[in-house]
């Protein structure tokens, strides 16, 4: 028996026991220290205590983002908590004071708790207060009202709105700068805004550490255990598996479907164990265990060829099913499904797929209906899952671009390392072409001026559109800017920006995908609200910086009009003088 298997099963919400997903329970587990991933924020807080640079830290964010885990990390690094000890609601030490969750404290006591945490640096202590966002904002307002009342100063609705705006702006930008409220200086950290994608690969690397699986080596059922088989396969193809998982969570993060740490651990742990236990494996006969309970199937929410309904409780699995990555046609499909060529797989994986092919060979030759219940469809999806997770194909970038978008790999490179000017010019060219099509309905050909048109917001373009201004292609400068934030776990991250005069605007992966689809001739794009909002903001910013100035008087009325002709676009200028219309050019 390996107790670590039970621990992993307790970290997802598929079975009846998900206690291990809570940090309060994890801290008592003997396995917690072996798999925990330290956060830069926790390290920074620890250093502030040890260096006697006492500060107040206020943490908020979504459930499962790892707020309590950061507290546990600090306590362990300061040697204030030992193996098996739990956390109190609040605790004060010589140089450190913490509040595990202010939201769980009676509302009448919350203001006093917040005030104590903010005043801790004045008493030679670093403090760390954790709270849900709603109660935190309300308590700050009550504290401000109380402070103003003591000082016989007014606190009206305008002051309330100003304070809320200040705190919400900080939570949105998640800057690491110290802010001040009513004389209290503190760091306000929104864990939900921290890029946690790299956590997924770090935690998986720790979970498959051979030291945690020593008990499995001498097990009588090792040769038929799907869990041990998954761990062995992950160790053998660690680099490829980590790359796929990181790319999947990165895609979700950039498309406003960010996974919390708890949600990532839940999906990864389920994909390794399938919620099987050592006892069940020993006592039950599992049909085709190495295929049915393979990591490649379980990560997508499948047991063999069929979907596991219970697994959709895990958000990462429900998301990957909605994306339907295993239904995306790949360039390698002909090789896999017509030639039955499995040379892209390691021998052990290839052998599983060969057996699968032999068992269902007739279904590879017969093209069925598009029904999801068709055995042929299920087989092809299964092979694609194995290909995405385990393939030894060296064209990894091309593969990920096929499922995550043509510019996914480029975007990943741009946000992780400094790129050449040529790479940035390629992004500039893509953006210019897409915006030109968006504004005029035509490719720019050799044009270097982008017309800013007044147009209908649909796929139908008028033959004549009012021109509100023009912007040169060279005025849309694509740059990279390093993110310097002491609390970010991603210490080498870069932002991809378009500089429009004196303003910088962030370009996201959905935007690059949207630009690429426009250039490729897509009539419409499945836009998420964040993308639609982002494009609208970009349009507004460009128009604000390069739009034509309004006429000084009613007599000074000149219009520029874009006319779509069979030979391309022409911009004509017209002037009105009384009842007369003059063509200027």
For 132-142, the pLDDT digits (tens) are: 999 999 999 99
Q: 289: number of CA atoms within 13 Å, CB side?
A: 20
327 band by pLDDT with thresholds 50, 70 and 90: very high
* CA gap 115, 150 in Å, rounded: 14
Instruction: Kindly compute the dihedral angle of the four CA atoms of residues 318, 324, 326, 331, in this order, to the nearest 10 degrees.
Output: -150
In a domain, 151, yes or no: yes
Q: Where are the alpha helices (DSSP H) in 120-156?
A: 133-150
User: Do 405 and 521 fall into the same domain?
Assistant: no
User: Do 55 and 162 fall into the same domain?
Assistant: yes
User: Do 384 and 500 fall into the same domain?
Assistant: no
Q: Whole-model pTM above 0.85?
A: yes
Phi, psi for residue 398 in degrees, rounded to 5: -65, -40
Number of compact structural domains in the chain:
3
* CA gap 200, 205 in Å, rounded: 9
The answer to whether residues 505 and 498 touch, using CB atoms and an 8 Å cutoff, is yes
In a domain, 547, yes or no: yes
In a domain, 555, yes or no: yes
The answer to whether residues 226 and 292 touch, using CB atoms and an 8 Å cutoff, is yes
Mean pLDDT across the chain: 88
In a domain, 581, yes or no: no
User: Do 50 and 132 fall into the same domain?
Assistant: yes
* CA gap 300, 271 in Å, rounded: 8
In a domain, 558, yes or no: yes
> Which H or E run includes 536?
helix 529-546
> Which H or E run includes 562?
strand 558-565
Look at residue 1 in the predicted model and tell me its pLDDT: 84
* CA gap 84, 101 in Å, rounded: 20
Rounded percentage of the chain residues whose pLDDT exceeds 70:
91
459 band by pLDDT with thresholds 50, 70 and 90: low
* CA gap 254, 174 in Å, rounded: 17
Domain of 461, in residue numbers: 411-576
* CA gap 276, 532 in Å, rounded: 43
Which of residues 392, 410, 428 is at a domain's end? 410
Instruction: Centre a 10 Å sphere on the Cβ of residue 76 and count the other Cβ atoms it contains.
Output: 20
Residue with tokens 């924020």: 41
The answer to whether residues 286 and 293 touch, using CB atoms and an 8 Å cutoff, is yes
User: Do 401 and 452 fall into the same domain?
Assistant: no
* CA gap 563, 471 in Å, rounded: 18
306 pLDDT higher than 80:
yes
* CA gap 364, 374 in Å, rounded: 11
* CA gap 451, 487 in Å, rounded: 42
Per-residue pLDDT, averaged over 520-549, amounts to: 82
User: Do 215 and 280 fall into the same domain?
Assistant: yes
* CA gap 76, 85 in Å, rounded: 11
User: Do 403 and 415 fall into the same domain?
Assistant: no
Angle at which helices 396-404 and 408-416 pack, to 10 degrees?
Answer: 110
Q: Read off the pLDDT of residues 224-265 as tens digits, 9 standing for 90 and up.
A: 999 999 999 999 999 999 999 999 999 999 998 999 999 999
The answer to whether residues 381 and 304 touch, using CB atoms and an 8 Å cutoff, is no
Query: Which of the two residues, 574 and 128, has the higher pLDDT score?
Result: 128
Rounded percentage of the chain residues whose pLDDT exceeds 90:
64
Nearest to 338 by CA among 374, 386, 376: 376
The answer to whether residues 433 and 407 touch, using CB atoms and an 8 Å cutoff, is no
Q: Please give the C-alpha separations between residue 546 and each of 476, 493, 543, 552, 561, in angstroms, as whole numbers.
A: 11, 31, 5, 17, 16
In a domain, 15, yes or no: no
Look at residue 26 in the predicted model and tell me its pLDDT: 63
Which of residues 410, 442, 476 is at a domain's end? 410
Nearest to 508 by CA among 411, 419, 435, 585: 411
Tokens read off for 320: 């990957």
Per-residue pLDDT, averaged over 261-276, amounts to: 95
In a domain, 53, yes or no: yes
Write out the DSSP string of 203-254: HHHHHT-GGGGHHHHT-TTGGG-HHHHHHHHHHHTHHHHHHHHHHHHHHHHH
Long-range contact set of residues 170-175: C-beta below 8 Å, sequence gap at least 24: 171/60, 171/133, 174/485, 174/487, 175/485
| Terminal C-alpha separation, the chain | 85
Nearest to 394 by CA among 249, 523, 243, 508: 243
User: Do 367 and 428 fall into the same domain?
Assistant: no
Tokens read off for 12: 């997802």
Phi, psi for residue 503 in degrees, rounded to 5: -120, 140
Query: Which of the two residues, 395 and 129, has the higher pLDDT score?
Result: 129
Helix (H, G, I), strand (E, B) or coil at 474: helix
Instruction: Centre a 10 Å sphere on the Cβ of residue 480 and count the other Cβ atoms it contains.
Output: 16
456 pLDDT higher than 80:
no
Which of residues 410, 439, 464 is at a domain's end? 410
User: Do 325 and 240 fall into the same domain?
Assistant: yes
Look at residue 369 in the predicted model and tell me its pLDDT: 46
The answer to whether residues 462 and 563 touch, using CB atoms and an 8 Å cutoff, is no
477 pLDDT higher than 80:
yes
Q: Read off the pLDDT of residues 40-99 as tens digits, 9 standing for 90 and up.
A: 999 999 999 999 999 999 999 988 888 999 999 999 999 998 877 888 999 999 999 999
Helix (H, G, I), strand (E, B) or coil at 494: strand
User: Do 568 and 430 fall into the same domain?
Assistant: yes
> Which H or E run includes 433?
helix 421-440
- How wide is the angle at C-alpha 66 spanned by C-alphas 63 and 71, nearest 5°? 120
User: Do 417 and 559 fall into the same domain?
Assistant: yes
Q: Which of 108-122, 442-456, 500-514 has the lowest mean pLDDT?
A: 442-456
Sign for the pseudo-dihedral over CA of 334, 340, 346, 349:
positive
User: Do 416 and 561 fall into the same domain?
Assistant: yes
Look at residue 541 in the predicted model and tell me its pLDDT: 95
Q: Please give the C-alpha separations between residue 383 and each of 287, 377, 386, in angstroms, as whole numbers.
A: 18, 10, 5
Write out the DSSP string of 453-497: EE--SSS---SEEEEEEEEEGGGEEEEEEE---TT-S-TT-EEEE
Nearest to 144 by CA among 111, 109, 108: 111
532 pLDDT higher than 80:
yes
In a domain, 6, yes or no: no
Per-residue pLDDT, averaged over 418-441, amounts to: 93
* CA gap 420, 33 in Å, rounded: 41
């Amino acid at each position: 028996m390996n107790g670590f298997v039970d621990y992993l099963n307790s970290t997802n919400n598929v079975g009846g026991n998900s206690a291990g997903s809570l940090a309060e329970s994890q801290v008592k587990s003997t396995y917690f220290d072996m798999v925990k991933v330290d956060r830069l924020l926790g390290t920074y807080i620890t250093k502030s205590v040890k260096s006697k640079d006492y500060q107040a830290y206020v943490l908020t964010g979504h459930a499962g983002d790892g707020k309590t885990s950061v507290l546990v990390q600090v306590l362990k690094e300061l040697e204030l908590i030992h193996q098996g000890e739990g956390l109190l609601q609040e605790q004060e030490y010589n140089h450190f004071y913490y509040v595990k969750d202010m939201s769980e404290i009676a509302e009448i006591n919350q203001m006093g708790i917040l005030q104590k945490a903010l005043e801790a640096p004045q008493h030679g202590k670093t403090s760390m207060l954790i709270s849900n966002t709603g109660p935190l904002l309300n308590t700050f307002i009550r504290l401000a009202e109380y402070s103003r009342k003591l000082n016989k100063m007014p606190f009206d609705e305008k002051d309330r709105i100003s304070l809320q705006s200040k705190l919400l702006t900080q939570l949105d930008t998640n800057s690491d700068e110290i802010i001040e409220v009513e004389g209290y200086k503190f760091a306000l950290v929104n864990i939900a805004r921290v890029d946690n994608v790299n956590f997924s690969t770090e935690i998986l690397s720790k979970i498959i550490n051979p030291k945690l699986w020593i008990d499995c080596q001498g097990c009588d059922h090792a040769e038929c255990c799907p869990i041990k088989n998954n761990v062995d396969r992950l160790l053998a193809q660690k680099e490829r598996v980590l790359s796929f998982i990181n790319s999947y969570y990165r895609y979700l993060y950039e498309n406003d479907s960010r996974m919390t740490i708890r949600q990532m651990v839940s999906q990864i742990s389920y994909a390794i164990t399938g919620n099987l236990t050592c006892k069940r494996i020993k006592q039950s006969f599992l049909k085709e265990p190495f295929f049915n309970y393979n990591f490649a199937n379980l990560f997508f929410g499948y047991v063999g060829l069929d979907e596991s309904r219970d697994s959709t409780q895990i958000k990462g699995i429900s998301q990957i099913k909605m994306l339907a990555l295993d239904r995306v046609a790949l360039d390698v499909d002909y090789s896999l499904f017509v030639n039955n060529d499995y040379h892209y797989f390691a021998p052990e994986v290839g052998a599983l797929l060969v057996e699968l092919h032999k068992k269902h060979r007739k279904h590879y030759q017969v093209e069925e209906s598009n029904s999801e219940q068709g055995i042929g469809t299920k087989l092809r999806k299964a092979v694609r899952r194995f290909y995405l997770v385990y393939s030894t194909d060296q064209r990894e970038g091309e593969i990920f671009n096929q499922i995550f978008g043509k510019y996914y790999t480029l975007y990943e490179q741009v946000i992780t390392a400094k790129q050449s000017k040529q790479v940035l010019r390629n992004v500039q060219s893509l953006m210019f072409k897409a915006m030109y099509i968006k504004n005029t309905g035509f490719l720019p050909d050799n044009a270097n001026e982008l017309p800013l048109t007044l147009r209908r917001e649909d796929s139908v373009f008028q033959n004549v559109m009012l021109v509100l201004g023009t912007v040169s292609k060279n005025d849309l400068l694509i740059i990279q800017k390093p993110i310097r934030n002491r609390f970010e776990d991603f210490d080498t991250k870069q932002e991809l920006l378009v500089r429009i005069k004196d303003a910088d605007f962030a370009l996201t992966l959905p935007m690059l995908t949207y630009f690429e689809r426009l250039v490729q001739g897509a009539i419409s794009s499945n836009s998420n609200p964040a993308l639609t909002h982002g494009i609208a903001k970009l349009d507004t910013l460009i128009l604000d910086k390069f739009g034509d100035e309004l006429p000084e008087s009613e007599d000074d009325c000149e219009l520029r009009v874009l006319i779509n002709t069979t030979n391309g676009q022409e911009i004509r200028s017209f002037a009105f003088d009384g009842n007369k219309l003059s063509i200027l050019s």
